[in-house]
Amino acid sequence: MKKAAEFVKQIINMLSGLAKDKTKELKRKTRAFKTRLVIFSLLHNRHMVVSSLSHKLKSNPTSKKIDHDDNKDEDHQNMVVVYSHNVNAMSSTPVSPHVEYQYTEDEEEEEEEEKYPDLRHSLFEAEGSVIEMVKHSKEDNGEEFRLEDEIDKVADLFITRFHRQMWLQKQLSFEIAFGVPPKKSINVPFGRNYFPTWAFDHIKYLNGGSEVHLVLDKYTGTGFQSKGSYLFGHFSMHIKMVAGDSAGTVTAFYLSSQNSEHDEIDFEFLGNRTGQPYILQTNVFTGGTGNREQRINLWFDPSKDYHSYSVLWNMYQIVFFVDDVPIRVFKNSKDIGMKFPFNQPMKIYSSLWNADDWATRGGLEKTNWEKAPFVASYRGFHVDGCEASVNAKFCETQGKRWWDQKEFQDLDANQYKRLKWVRKRYTIYNYCTDRVRFPVPPPECRRDRDI
């Protein structure tokens, strides 16, 4: 009996030792799991930002254990700072719904994902713990769930999902950064985006190049062009037109591609006799064909002060603005057989030149050279476009820039109201209503709301 009792005692001690060892192992794993979960608990803090994402996550998220109960200050020093999952907390700018990003992981991570459902949202939602979800997944497959066996897999899966979420947040942040339109054009020096192309001595630089004067005399005019070529974007210039008797002169600001079947987007300011209003002519060339002239009188004297003239060009429309007032829209009407500029990069040009054979009253009013030199003044030189080589056929960031977003795919109600005001009060010619040239209105006119 005594030997039997001792034998039983030994067995009990052995089992107790095994139990203690198992308990210690479980506690060790639990602490490791707890340490990893600290990272994800931080995701609930909406005041944190990804710019301070610690390198510790990339190297070893559990390299330093954290004791929540005794060392709270030390814990916070070792914590990894991450994004809130709610991107709207950072910006109210809507994210384009059609932009998709591809994410790839290594084969080991993909094998882990095949074993369990997509747990990304369980990092943020209180609808059920990940442990419960993993347990249900195991039970659904007829397998026994043992927390001590699964805890490392769950923790690793958390880390995998964490990296995925951070990658998605970075992409969304990238999109938000591109999705925020500028509140106004950014003024930069002339040399940042442009260089002179002819009659260099007829370009005058003031204030360190922040202001430029183009000079026209009886010998020559002058001009400049952009350094880059662009596929889509927003392009703006502040211009003060030739003052006084400007008949016969043309101040041009336009975009144009470089081949025979070229695309072009034109602002042309046609001078006039003293006291008569300037005429602004716009035109759009697609595939080498223009003949889409529209003319308006401006509601101010453009020679008295600087005013902003800009073009918004994306895959959906071209909009001409004067001081942020839309004066013309040219929609993408490829679906009804009309060409649209979409695959030819354009440079930006501006020039002051003599065109008295047609510019003023069809050439009846000639340039009065006694009033020379004629001066047009420029500043601003804003360019926000997708820069591409001359031979590029697409923009690498297509769909990701602010001008690609939904709110810029059409004018809003207030913009259409202002456009209607311009057409009603200031339009003096519209090719869409010229029945001599076009007995049947061109098909794009109705879509552009020109008729």
Please name the residues in contact with 286: beta carbons below 8 A apart, sequence gap of 6 or more. 263, 338, 339, 340, 341
Cα–Cα distance for residue pair 141/393, rounded to 1 Å: 51
Q: What phi and psi values does residue 168 have, to the nearest 5 degrees?
A: -65, -40
268 an active-site residue?
A: yes
Distance CA 151, CA 133 (A): 12
Q: Which residue in 220, 355, 240 sits closest to 301, CA to CA? A: 240
Using alpha carbons, list the distances in angstroms from residue 150 to 132, 156, 157, 161, 332: 11, 10, 10, 16, 56
Cα–Cα distances (Å) from 77 to 32, 66, 71, 293, in that order, read 18, 10, 10, 65
Please state, as a whole number, how many other Cβ atoms lie within 10 Å of the Cβ of residue 396.
10
Query: From the candidates 264, 293, 370, 444, which is the catalytic residue?
Result: 264
Cα–Cα distance, 430 to 294 (Å, whole number): 5
Catalytic residue selected from 150, 175, 268, 444: 268
Beta-strand (E) ranges in 58-170?
none
Task: Please return the burial class of 398, using the count of CB atoms within 10 Å of its CB with bins 0-12, 13-18 and 19+.
Answer: middle
Catalytic residue status for 264: yes
Reduced to 3 states (helix: H, G, I; strand: E, B; else coil), residue 374 is: strand
Tell how strand 347-354 and strand 264-270 pair up. Answer: unpaired
The catalytic residues are 264, 268
